[in-house]
Amino acid sequence: MTVTTHAPPLVVADLDSAIRALRERGLRISTSRRLVLEALFAAEQPVSAEPLARDLGLDPSSVYRSLETLERHGLVRHVHLGHGPGLYALVADRELEYLCCERCGAVTPVEAERLDPVRAQIRAQFGYEACFTHFAIVGLCRSCATSAATAA
Amino acid sequence: MTVTTHAPPLVVADLDSAIRALRERGLRISTSRRLVLEALFAAEQPVSAEPLARDLGLDPSSVYRSLETLERHGLVRHVHLGHGPGLYALVADRELEYLCCERCGAVTPVEAERLDPVRAQIRAQFGYEACFTHFAIVGLCRSCATSAATAA
DNA sequence: ATACTTGCAAATGATTTGCCAGTGT
DNA sequence: ACACTGGCAAATCATTTGCAAGTAT
């Protein structure tokens, strides 16, 4: 994902509208592109390229290429929740950002607007317009924070 | 840096106290360990392993091992500012966290406590105890945010 | 028909590991 | 002396790229 500066989000409700949107952009709908899209629509959580490739019987490089194309067109985004591969997800009607517990690995997706107060705080204090779509907010979830405090 | 759960910070003021602290922990002070420490004390900004190795005439693997040891003992921490290698820095007397502009690459180190209001907001809203020492807060710095808004 | 896509293999970048020779204590 | 370290080479993991063959439009 050489995509550093993200494309404007292109929200699609289902596979058909995704395909329509891609056609409008002059992209071809190859079998593997369709398969990747289907898998992303079926996924509950962000997924990495490798299992996608394995499950779909595609070459990893093709999956990476498809994901990159979809990301470049704003249908897909990838997040890093920690070390390990990037995880890909469709851009939903409400953009999602993630909180991730570095101890238990819990992943909490939240609608971007719910992080606006946090962003406002950061903007006011540091002048940065923060975006948590690429790097998750990492830390300890409530229960891990509690047990860590108890242990201390 | 297989260090996922960070060690408690071990703050050292200078090379000598670093060496003393390591000795107390039963670690040997090899030439390369000393060189890496010196380089970190000299560095203004976090540095990646590769240039450290090159500049010091050490093997990258040795540098990684030294950094990992230092990190495991809480003297060093690594951050990711975006794609690319991890960047290593000594744990200063005031722990630092970073904001990074994804457009111009500006890096703004801030003392951890200055991010406490942000953490409080996140804790109140999501129950997470956030930590930005491993993943920087990525976004647009003031001037890039301004020019981006103008361009739109 | 033609340009865009894929699979396969090989390359890349970052980091890790095995192993034996070297060295700090 | 002896356990801990470093260098070197090779392995690993995630991802990218070159290229010739396949396919959507």
Chain D bases closer than 7 angstroms to a protein Cβ: 4-10, 13-18, 23-25
Ramachandran class of B111: left when φ > 0, alpha when ψ lies in -120 to 50, beta otherwise = beta
B101 CA to D10 C1' in angstroms comes to 37
Question: Is the Cβ atom of A49 within 7 Å of strand D at any atom?
Answer: yes
> Which tokens go with A56?
């779909």
Ramachandran class of B105: left when φ > 0, alpha when ψ lies in -120 to 50, beta otherwise = left
Cα distances (angstroms) measured from residue A23 to each of A11, A39, A120, B115: 15, 19, 38, 45
- pLDDT tens for chain B, residues 1 to 152: 544 578 899 999 999 999 999 999 999 999 999 999 999 999 999 999 999 999 999 999 999 999 999 999 999 999 999 999 999 999 977 889 999 999 999 999 999 999 999 999 999 999 999 999 999 999 999 999 998 887 76
| CB distance A49 to A64 below 8 Å | yes
Say if pTM beats, i.e. exceeds, 0.75.
Answer: yes
Chain C bases closer than 7 angstroms to a protein Cβ: 4-10, 13-18, 23-25
